[in-house]
Every structure is written in C-alpha cells, then in structure tokens.
Amino acid sequence: MQPMFINGQWVSRSSDGEVIDVVNPATEEIIDSVPNGSAADADKAVQAAKSAFKEWRWTSAYERAELMQTAANKLRHHFDAIAELLTLEEGKAISENEEEVEWVIGSLEYYAGLIRNSRGRVLQPAVRSQFNFTLKEPYGVVAAIVPFNFPLLLMIWKVAPALAAGNTVVIKPSDHTPLSTLKLMDCVFDDFPPGVINVLTGRGERAGEALVAHPDVPVVAFTGSTAIGRRISEIGSRRIKRLHLELGGKDPFVIAPDADVETAAEAVAYAALINAGQVCTSTERVYVPEQLAGAFTGALVDFVQSLKLGPGLERTTDMGPLAAPHYRQKVLSHIEDAKARGAKILTGGKAPAGLERGWYLEPTVLTNVNHSMVCMREETFGPTIPVMTYRTFDEAIELCNDSDYGLGACLRSNDPRLIKRFFDEVQGGTIWINDPLTDNYGGPFGGFKMSGNARELGEEGLESFLETKHVHWDFSDEVKDYWYPYS
C-alpha cells in the first residue's frame, strides 16, 4: 500500500479504510494499492494547504524558484526509476514516458525562471500626486485534478505555475495512475515546506468532488472529459470558483492537395496513435483530397501495420495498451457504430493476436466515414484513424469547424496561402503545421468551444493562478474638489 501525502506526512489509510488497486494495463496484474480518499481526507489536505499558504505566499519569488529548480535537479537523478514506474501504471511506450519526465523537468525550470520577472505593472496616474500600480497575487489553495494519460506532465502544467505564483496545492491524481505522483513527493518535492504540496489519492466521485466543493479551495485546475468538466462547473459555480478546465477534443488533420502522401501518412499515424490515441489532442478526424485518397490510405495502412504493439517497457514497442478495459470497450463501440453506418475497416478493429493479457487494441483505419458517425462527433480517445475525403479546401475548413470541440488542428502543406487560411479560419487553441502535437514551454495550450477555458504553459499558464489587485495611492492628503458638498 502506497500512502497519501498530507501536510508533509504519509497517510497510510483513508478515513474509512477504503482501498484502490493500481493495475498494470499491459499485464492486468495489480502493481500496488492506494487509499481511496474521502471527503474527510480532502478536508485535511485542504486545511494543510490553507495553513501553509499563510507563509508560502510571502516566500520570495527567488526562494520559490530555487526550490523548483532543486526539484528539477532531483528528478534528473531519479529519471529512470520515475519513467519505469510511469510505464508500469500508465502503459505507454517507455520512450514516450521518458519524454514526459523531460517535460516535467523543463516545466519546473521554465516557471522557476518566469516567476523572477515581475509582480505587476506601473500605470499612468490621473494626476501628479497619485501612484497607480497593479499587483499579481496568489489565490490560495489550488486543487489540481489530473487524468491518467499523462499523469506527471498534466500535473506539472498546473502545479509548477501554481507554486511559482505563490499558491499551495492539493493534487488529486487519477485512480489509475497515482504511483508516479506519490514517488515525486518522496524523492523530488521533499524539500518543500509541509502543506505546500499535498497528494490526495482517491476516486473522482469521492476525493475529487470533495475538493471541488470545498469552501477553502478557490481554484480548481482540471484536465479530463467534457462531461466531468461540466460536473465540476456545476459544483464550482455555487461558490464562483476560478475554474481552469482543459477538456475533450476531436482534433482534425487536413492533408492539403500539395502534400506528399508518404510523409503525411507517417505524420497522421503519429498524431493519432501516440499513447494508443489517449491524448486530448490526438488526431481523431482526417480529411484528404479525393484525388489523393487512394494513395494516402494505402500508405497509411502500410505504415500502421508495421507498428509493434506490446508492453511499454519493451524498447521495441511502438504502441502500448489502453489504460483500462472500459476505455477499450468505448473505442470498440465507436468502431461498431461506424461499421453499422457504412464505414469500412482497412486494418485493425480488434484485439491483437498473441497479446492475450492486457487491454490492447490494434490501430484501426476507417474509410467511408461521415459526420453522422459517433467516431467523427464524440471523443474516441483510442487508436482509430477515420479518413474522410473532401473536394475543396473551403470544404475541408468547414469540416474542421463542424464540431463541438476546438482544442487543436493539424495541417500538412507547404502552400503558404493554404497555411494562412488554415490558421486564420480553423477554430482551435493550437494549430500545428507539418509538425503535429509538438508543445512549447512558452506557448499557451488550451482550447475553444467545449474543449474548455484554460490556458496552460507560457505566461498565460502563470496568469491563470494569479489574481490582479489595483492600488490607487495618492501622496496628497488634501481635500479633493470633487468630494461633498457639490455646491
């Protein structure tokens, strides 16, 4: 049993003793277990964070930055162990998890540097005797509710700027993947004062909802499905909380008429299948010109069939399993709906032979799809590549925007006129041209429409955890001519 971490102490059981088993998705074996935190446990974590905030908020930016840099340095020393544990509990290929750990290090260092820059700005005063300026201040306790697909990356995108801004945090990791976060508390974040960082394990309907509803949590930062984001909005709105929601996606990928089909096929496969398609920005809709459809789908099928499925710890593995059986079943239901409506499966669509244990699913290429199908409307979150044809680039842009979501979009082209039209007209928080799903520490990440209201990374990511105070200071204490009496 791995304990929770509250107020600098390891807590080995929940208030009522409930336990969650953590299962390796590649083998279906239990790796370890954690407490299923209750509302009482959530309250203890929040009270610890609230108490720590009284001192942490006044810790200088330079001290906070030093602690964050120290944490980054420690993570380098534990790099291999963290990447391996992440692979065991989450399932994706070890190379992808090594990249995730690199991102945790880089994010800590980025915000450690950024927080040193400024605390506000000086404004032009209305009259000579006045001094006007703004201050950026932390909110207090931030609840960071994190999904299973990138347990450390999506945690640090919230926690690093929150800490840098002077907030304290309670992390609620996914009940599928809590172990790597707890490991960080043991060997990476151990220099932080007690209560500044807390980890509350548990299921969303217990621990998560208790955090969202808690009166002493002014900010909730969440990454996950739109349905759960809607639930968090309903609860949080009762206290007008600051909700930082990064939600679902249904990202399109357009192959322009000038694109090379071979390289386009490789780009699409990467964008759709990384982490077995369990990425909020995964390509889930592909649009290809009618005249390139045959060549493109042929190249795509050949490339997809060359990929190796297997346990993430094997260095030859390209794609690991899905995180849990119900996630695989959801993907299969999307495939079955598409088949029933006339789609054709060119490859995949079933569990692979030779991998009897683990929640694997062959990468699946679908054609003859349209927007009436679930696989083109709802987030699939699995290794499917539905390919639809278009006649004109105008039609391709319309198809991209015909969605409730607007997280990101990809284009493969070298035509500057098409590229400008694409990033001007497509509704998405990130537009990738020729290099899909690449992030930048300084570039804000987030979506339009039902993909949420958050921006993570960049200066915008820091601003999300700061509120603005305007100070109006008049050096003169004389009576003003605009005071009473008006006569």
Instruction: Enumerate residues 6+ apart whose C-beta is below 8 A from 197.
Output: 5, 159, 163, 168, 169, 171, 185, 189
What is the CA 39 to chain-centroid distance, rounded? 25
CA distance 466 to 225: 25
**Inter-residue contact 289 to 390 (CB < 8 Å):** yes
Q: β-pairing, 384-390 with 283-289?
A: parallel
DSSP reduced 3-state for 130: strand
**In sequence order, what DSSP letters do the residues of 425-472 get, joined into one string?**
HS--SEEEESSTT---TTS-B--EETTBS--BSHHHHHHTTEEEEEEE
Verify whether residue 246 is a known catalytic residue.
yes
Spatial contact of 225 and 148, defined as CB atoms under 8 Å apart = no
Q: What are phi and psi of 400, to 5 degrees?
A: -60, -45
**Closest CA relative to residue 172, chosen from 13, 31, 4:** 4
Coil, helix or strand at residue 34? strand
Phi and psi, residue 343, nearest 5°:
-70, 155
Find all residues with CB under 8 Å of 82, minimum gap 6, and list them.
Answer: 75, 101, 152, 180, 183, 184
Which listed residue (89, 100, 109, 246) is catalytic? Answer: 246
Beginning with the edge strand found earlier in the chain, give each strand of the sheet holding 466-474 in spatial order: 120-123, 130-138, 466-474
Which of 96, 100, 109, 280 is catalytic? The answer is 280
- Cα dihedral sign for 387, 389, 394, 395? negative
Residue count (the chain)? 487
| Residues β-bridged to residue 225 | none
Q: Helix 261-273 to helix 293-305 angle, to the nearest 10 degrees?
A: 50
> Is the previous residue joined to 485 through a cis bond, with omega within 30 degrees of 0?
yes
Element housing 389 (H / E): strand 384-390
Tokens of 151: 């347990």
Q: From 276, 277, 280, 273, select the one nearest 222 (Cα to Cα).
A: 280
Handedness of CA 21, 24, 30, 31 (dihedral sign): negative
**Residue 477, SS3 per DSSP:** coil
39 contacts 206 by C-beta, under 8 angstroms: yes
Q: Does the annotation mark 395 as catalytic? A: no
Chain centre distance of CA 468: 25
Query: Which sequence positions are flagged as catalytic?
Result: 246, 280
